[in-house]
Structure 1
Amino acid sequence: MRKGLLLLACCATLTLQAQDALKLKFRSRALLDASVASFQDQKAQGYYRLEDFRVGFKAGYKNMEMKADIGLGGGKVAIKDLLLQATWGSHTLALGNAYDPFSMDMLISTADLRFHQSATSVLAFTDSRKLGVTWHFQKPAFYLASGIYTYNDINKIGENQRNSLVSTSRAVWRRQRANDHLLHFGGAFSFRTTPVNQKDYNKELSAAGVTSMFSEPLLAAGIGAPRKEFKGVLEALVTGPRYLLQGEYYLNRYCLSGDRNYQPHGGYAQASYLLLGRGFSYDAASAVPGRPASDRALELTARFNYTNMNDTGAGILGGEEKDLSVGLNFYLNAYIGFKISGSYVWVGEHCNPAYKNNYFVPQARVQYIF
């Protein structure tokens, strides 16, 4: 924590020395969640969680931009985004700690998600931030990104680092019209090399489900020591003046010992309708949607998700689930918002034994962003 705060302070001091030549913005956000639900045959009780508290800054100088964020979430303090970017025309080169360009939903800011967190399939088949370099290329009709990364975020470098490399690429075709209509179709592919010099390396694939407030993950698969990993995703996004349709489908492949391969898969589809407000923001530079474009907005949203981490051929049974969520998001202004949702989860075969029956989870969130 002290290293992260020192780094943030040093960077801020350096940028303040050239105030006349740069643009500097300090920022902060907080997401406070609450739920009332039963877990592991217990009586219904309240759950509360500071999902994310973050402070940071963004500084721009000519064609250069730097951003740094320190976050507190789940009781842990960590460096979040730490990026230095340079832009030349349609090209951007980004160096630092951030998400690789795999999964549209994972690239969306947590505060702009339609629900409290990404779908179960997104959480199962994506990774945390990684330290590396990414090249972005964007035109009105398409977006391309490619990068190479260590299989660690900056907080894990040291004794617990994993010695392998990841290469990820993403391509998107899009057509956007001035009257808030957008068509967006694309996909991404990622490859991870075999970890080296790690005798005790054991990979576990897991996903919390529709909420992170329970103490046990809904899905968990012990993979052992896989060699290479391949994964792909297809994505689609359609928006209009009052509606948004979004979906992704994932397929992972872990190369195990011998000729065995473990292939979990899953995806989600979600829709939003604006009862108040018009249009949805869209970041063309990273090809991801955001919150409603109107400062004050009321959004009705629904999502269906399917995740299957069972592969009998590989002998790995991590669980299978389906869930349906409905929510209502009220954005009071550009800074303060409220979210409520209810999710029903169908617990399938080989899920975590802590989840014996289908269950329902209501959730609420208060968030501010400055």
Structure 2
Amino acid sequence: MRKVFLLLLLVACYTGVFAQLALKSEKGDFETRLIGRALFDGGVFFSDKTSLGNAAEVYDLRLGTVVRFLERWTGKIEVGFAKSKVSMKDIFIEYRDGKNLFRVGHFFEPYSLEYRIGSSDMKFNGAAVTGIAFGDRRKLGASYTYNVDLLNISAGVFSDKDVDNTEKGDEGYALSGRVLYRPYLNGEDVMHIGFSSRFSALGDAEESKVVYSAGAPSNLIPEKFLRADVTDAINEWRFGAEVVMVLDKWYVQSEYLLAHVNRRAAVENYNGDGWYAQVGYALLNGRYAYNKESGMAVAPGEKCLELLCRYNITNMNDKDAGIMGGKQNDLSVGGIYYFNKYVSAKMSYSLVSLDKHAQEGGKQTFSMIQGRIQLSF
């Protein structure tokens, strides 16, 4: 596996330095190009209670291809190789007809925002803890998206079982939807207000249990400080509200997520929630852009220094349900410098505060300094 890892890394570096490898048919009805990323992380952690060792690792390594064929068909195959494990990422085909987009395969559901952002586009070394806790992983399914200037509507049906879950039994299913309304459009300046929801009916593979867990805002810390094991579950609802603003050199993103689990009559239903708000400013050069199809902000151009701040509260405590999974507050500040379209560097500082119900060491406060060099093509 180590030899495969080194070979893939060399291929990624070669492609990123020289050019994107692309092939196109003579008639122009078929085109494919290589995509990939390599993220190198390091961090120093300061704690007076839980032992958090300093660390460095290759957080994410991916290779894949994007294919366009005929006039309206595209496909994507992307595989991850981080931490000596092979994992499926985006693997889908889609058909685009003007305002309409149909997609089938393995990809993120149209629910929430932060956890759906790719690792190379995340503003900090880790996603917002609320997004990790109450977002969702990629699933097998099908979706439809209708997209115009003022409105974006997405809906889909998915298996509620992860592809790497080998437990036997009937799989549950999930229904997801997301609506974005853009009340402000002025050239490249945009504001959208979004709402999303997700319903899942549990199958035998889930064993009537829903588990929520999350750690610190860092990929280098394996500890899960927050964890709620919700037993006797019948089904689950998740709701989200979001705001994104792109105003020249300013960028704002905020999101609230709520998870509700209906349980059998003998016990109380469970609720967990959280929210975050983050702001960015493009210094030196460039400005932010906006992707109307995904509803996500696009990073400023090369030779730009991006200054960032994020505050996040995640609460898995529900006294009525008898489940105290812990509560976490964290504040992060940092910056990203874009050397060119392929290479960037990140640095951030985070301060984390946990309540007495935290799963690792109880009530405590700790901090961290993290950095990342990333190659993306």
Q: What is the distance in 2 between the residues matched to 1:199 and 1:84?
A: 28
**Closer, same or farther in 2 for the Cα pair 1:281/1:163, shift >3 Å?**
same
Structure 1 position 205 matched with structure 2 position 212: yes
Identity value in percent: 27
Structure 1 position 66 matched with structure 2 position 75: yes
One-letter code of the match for 1:146? A
**Closer, same or farther in 2 for the Cα pair 1:320/1:199, shift >3 Å?**
closer
Aligned match of 2:12? none
Match among 93, 103, 106 for residue 84 of structure 1: 93
Structure 1 position 354 matched with structure 2 position 350: no
**Closer, same or farther in 2 for the Cα pair 1:176/1:108, shift >3 Å?**
farther
Secondary structure of 1:111's aligned partner: coil
Match among 205, 227, 241 for residue 234 of structure 1: 241
Structure 1 position 167 matched with structure 2 position 203: no
Secondary structure of 1:264's aligned partner: strand
One-letter code of the match for 2:228? A
Q: What is the distance in 2 between the residues matched to 1:19 and 1:198?
A: 49
Where does 1:132-171 land on structure 2 (aligned, <5 Å)? 132-156=141-165, 158-159=166-167, 163-171=171-179
Aligned 8 A contact 1:105 1:288 in 2: no
Q: CA RMSD in A?
A: 2.1
Q: What is the distance in 2 between the residues matched to 1:149 and 1:43?
A: 39
Aligned 8 A contact 2:24 2:30 in 1: no
Structure 1 position 301 matched with structure 2 position 308: yes
Question: Residue 153 of structure 1: CA displacement?
Answer: 3.5
Question: Residue 190 of structure 1: CA displacement?
Answer: 0.6
**Closer, same or farther in 2 for the Cα pair 1:141/1:225, shift >3 Å?**
same
How many residue pairs match? The answer is 353
Question: Residue 18 of structure 1: CA displacement?
Answer: 5.5
Structure 1 gaps of 5+ residues are: 2-14
Question: Residue 152 of structure 1: CA displacement?
Answer: 2.5
Aligned match of 2:18? none
Aligned 8 A contact 2:243 2:255 in 1: yes
Question: Residue 202 of structure 1: CA displacement?
Answer: 3.4
Question: Residue 223 of structure 1: CA displacement?
Answer: 1.1
CA displacement, residues 322-344 of structure 1 (integer Å, 9 cap, x when unaligned):
00000011011110000000000
The worse-fitting range, judged by mean Cα deviation, of 325-334 and 99-108 is 99-108
The worse-fitting range, judged by mean Cα deviation, of 40-49 and 304-313 is 40-49
Where does 1:1-370 land on structure 2 (aligned, <5 Å)? 20=27, 21-38=29-46, 41=49, 45-61=53-69, 62-156=71-165, 158-159=166-167, 163-174=171-182, 175-178=184-187, 180-195=188-203, 197-198=204-205, 200-258=207-265, 260-292=268-300, 294-354=301-361, 356-370=363-377
Question: Residue 45 of structure 1: CA displacement?
Answer: 4.2
Aligned 8 A contact 2:210 2:231 in 1: yes
Secondary structure of 2:171's aligned partner: coil
One-letter code of the match for 2:281? Y
Aligned 8 A contact 1:34 1:48 in 2: yes
**Closer, same or farther in 2 for the Cα pair 1:161/1:322, shift >3 Å?**
farther
Q: What is the distance in 2 between the residues matched to 1:291 and 1:44?
A: 32
CA displacement, residues 35-92 of structure 1 (integer Å, 9 cap, x when unaligned):
0114684777421122110000001011000000010234421111001000111000
Q: What is the distance in 1 between the residues matched to 2:371 and 2:362?
A: 22
